[in-house]
Amino acid sequence: MTLSVVSVTVDLVLLTIREGKLQVLLIRRGIPPFEGAWALPGGFVLPGEDLGDAAARELSEETGVRPAHLEQLGTYGSPERDPRGRVITVAYLALLPDLPAPVAGTDAADASWRPVPFTGLAFDHDRILADGVERARSKLEYTPLATAFCPPSFTIAELRAVYETVWRTRLDPRNFHRKVTGAAGFVETTGESVIRDRGRPAQLFRRGSATLLHPALLRPGLGSAQGGRSATDC
């Protein structure tokens, strides 16, 4: 049996909502291949390092934040994906609130948030980014992960803005309010209230303890069609 020796990297799809748009953290590559192109942040897995630890380390290096949520997205290993040789990458997905410090101490050439969709990335990162966005869209349906985009306390309207931004849809504020407050463990009230724009003050909420939404918040529109085939299908 021929033993294939390869290099392994982790790449991060870091999503946030800034200026009302879904954005992804990209770095501009300072070295070949794809010098000057935008790419997902990432790096080689260190010897003796677990994959999830490598992803958390990269996340910390890039943003300085402790991840509210970091999940494995998929592994990409096409033989031609890296001109330097056989490099497979394990992609991770994280959802972050709008960070106060734009991008903390980063070792990359330069890093910045870019609105998605964004194409022309190095390697197969277009595909990885697309898979990450689709994963995020679908996870908002049946998990309370939308709160990962929010600060510790937030209003229902702000949570709704997360859904509207990620799903690129408009949701009825009254029905949304009913469903969010009705889903067990999604959010819990803090007792405080604030005035965000104009109008009546809104209650502040924090994340609840549920890990799964019941009932789920299904995306409107797509009756039974869609079914975006993901990279993990064969």
Partner DNA sequence: CACGCTTAGCGTCATGTTGACGATAATAGA
Partner DNA sequence: TCTATTATCGTCAACATGACGCTAAGCGTG
* Helix (H), strand (E) at residue 88: strand 87-95
The region of 24-32, 51-59, 112-120, 198-206 touching a second copy under the rule CB under 8 A is 51-59
The entry of a second copy, DNA, none near residue 77 (CB within 5 to 8 angstroms by kind) is a second copy
Please state the closest distance from residue 190 (CB atom) to a second copy, in A.
Answer: 21
Q: Is 127 a binder of a second copy (CB under 8 A)? A: no
Print the binding letters for residues 81-100 with a second copy: x by CB under 8 A, - otherwise.
Answer: -----x-x-x-x--------
Cβ atoms of 132 and 90 closer than 8 Å: no
Contacting residues for 62 by C-beta, under 8 A, at least 6 apart: 12, 14, 25, 27, 41, 103, 104, 106, 108, 111
Q: Is 187 a binder of a second copy (CB under 8 A)? A: no
CA atoms of 3 and 1, how far apart (whole Å): 6
Contacting residues for 117 by C-beta, under 8 A, at least 6 apart: 129, 130, 133
Q: Which of 29, 50, 98, 156 binds a second copy (CB under 8 A)?
A: 50
The region of 11-19, 21-29, 118-126, 221-229 touching a second copy under the rule CB under 8 A is 221-229
Which amino acid, 8? V
Please state the closest distance from residue 109 (CB atom) to a second copy, in A.
Answer: 15
What residues does 113 pair with on adjacent strands?
A: 25
Q: Name the site residues for a second copy (rule: CB under 8 A).
A: 1-8, 43-52, 55-56, 67, 69-79, 86, 88, 90, 92, 183-185, 210-214, 223-227, 229, 231-234
